[in-house]
């Protein structure tokens, strides 16, 4: 299962109102490390279905969301629980590190 494409239109419903933690991957198509992390993010999405959500935010298309999360470098991964950022890390990481961010 692929990660959910997060936009400003679906952000509140998919992230802020979620009853499970949400891992957000802030990325761009031109970013080499982002392209390495992308497939792992998609794999993780299938593995955590039901206990967490995984979303991808294209920083070129969703500049307002990137700004709201103060994203200065990509890839940036953020976990939102109960409407608040509980964890945020910059840089490529493996799937286990992403699971650790989610507390799984």
Catalytic residues, by residue number, are: 31, 34
Place of tokens 């982002």: 34
Phi, psi angles (nearest 5°) of residue 24: -110, 130
Cα–Cα distance, 82 to 90 (Å, whole number):
21
Token readout for 98 is 């992403």
- Could you please report the per-residue DSSP string of 33-73? HHHHHHHHHHHHHHHSBTTBEEEEEETTT-HHHHHHTT--S
């Amino acid at each position: 299962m692929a990660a959910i494409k997060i936009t400003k239109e679906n952000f509140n419903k998919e992230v802020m109102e979620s009853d499970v933690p949400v891992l957000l991957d802030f990325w761009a198509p031109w970013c080499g490390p982002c392209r390495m992390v992308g497939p792992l993010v998609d794999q993780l999405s299938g593995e955590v279905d039901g206990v967490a959500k995984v979303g991808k935010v294209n920083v070129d298309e969703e500049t307002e969301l990137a700004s709201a999360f103060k994203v200065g470098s990509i890839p940036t991964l953020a976990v939102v629980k109960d409407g608040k950022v509980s964890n945020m890390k910059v840089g490529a990481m493996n799937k286990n590190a992403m699971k650790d961010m989610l507390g799984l």
